[in-house]
Amino acid sequence: MHDTEGASAPLLDISGARATIRLNRPRHHNRLEAEDLNVLVRLFDQVEADPAVRVLVLTGTGRTFSSGYDLGSVAERAVSANEQQSAGSAFEVVANRLEDLSLPTICRLNGGVYGGSTDLALACDFRIGVDTSEMFMPAARLGLHYYKSGIQRYVSRLGVDNAKMLFLTAQKIPAAEMLRIGYLTAMVPASALDAEVERLANLLAGNAPKAMAGMKRAINEFARGKLDEAAADQRHRESMRGAEIKEGILARAEKRPPRF
């Protein structure tokens, strides 16, 4: 469907209720450049603003999901501590924006995931990976103290012990271990990857978008220990008299899929 030889900034494809953003620098293992960060934020905004889109899939071209952020070029460009900070902050903004998207997100891990891209994948709601995937977080080998929201995502999703194992040892782990510690939602052979992503995407696209957006927000806030209780209570009360619950109840009574 796409040119797999040429490199470019991330690409967006919308098909029905599903949007796919694809990292597209296969010759460099989909390494993220500074320009890619701005593009990703714009694409996230575009997808979220489209009411026809109900689910987002993030993936990569070729055999690697992403080798992470290009720290080498950042170091070359940075001439002051302030510029280094802004470069790191730009990546953090992208990961946080992805996590906060109102629609459900799936990371289609077509291969290895390394460095900052491990956090990009964690910022997605679900991660489906091929059984040849691997991951590592090399911050300790690079002398880099990772940004706080990335560490928080590791801790809240994988637990303290697994976060320590990955950050402090900088060990590479295979797909089976990624599944065991909860990094992967599902592990499949490469031949089954698209079918499994499609299955989950269709499930998510068929559920009530407003209810899902509100519950996703609450779950993320719980994970951060910063629940906006008043807002969550308000969303709950509104849902009890909203159009979605009326359609959901009617569809159940009529023994048909709901049409949200």
Supply the pLDDT for residue 72.
64
Within 8 A by CB and 6+ apart from 208, the residues are 244, 245, 247, 248, 258, 260
Strand partners, 127: 107
Supply the pLDDT for residue 3.
46
Supply the pLDDT for residue 180.
98
Q: Starting from the edge strand earliest in sequence, which strands make up the sheet with 173-174, in order?
A: 64-66, 112-114, 134-136, 173-174
Question: Structural domain boundaries of the chain?
Answer: 8-205, 209-253
Supply the pLDDT for residue 79.
44
pTM for this model (two decimals)? 0.91
- How far is it, in rounded angstroms, from Cα 25 to Cα 65? 10
Supply the pLDDT for residue 4.
47
Each of the 260 residues of the chain gets a pLDDT tens digit; together they read 444 458 899 999 999 999 999 999 999 999 999 999 999 999 999 999 999 999 999 999 999 999 999 766 554 444 444 544 455 688 999 999 999 999 999 999 999 999 999 999 999 999 999 999 999 999 999 999 999 999 999 999 999 999 999 999 999 999 999 999 999 999 999 999 999 999 999 999 999 999 999 999 999 999 999 999 999 999 999 999 999 999 999 999 999 999 99
Domain range 8-205, its CATH number among 3.90.1200.10, 3.30.420.40, 3.90.226.10, 3.40.190.10: 3.90.226.10
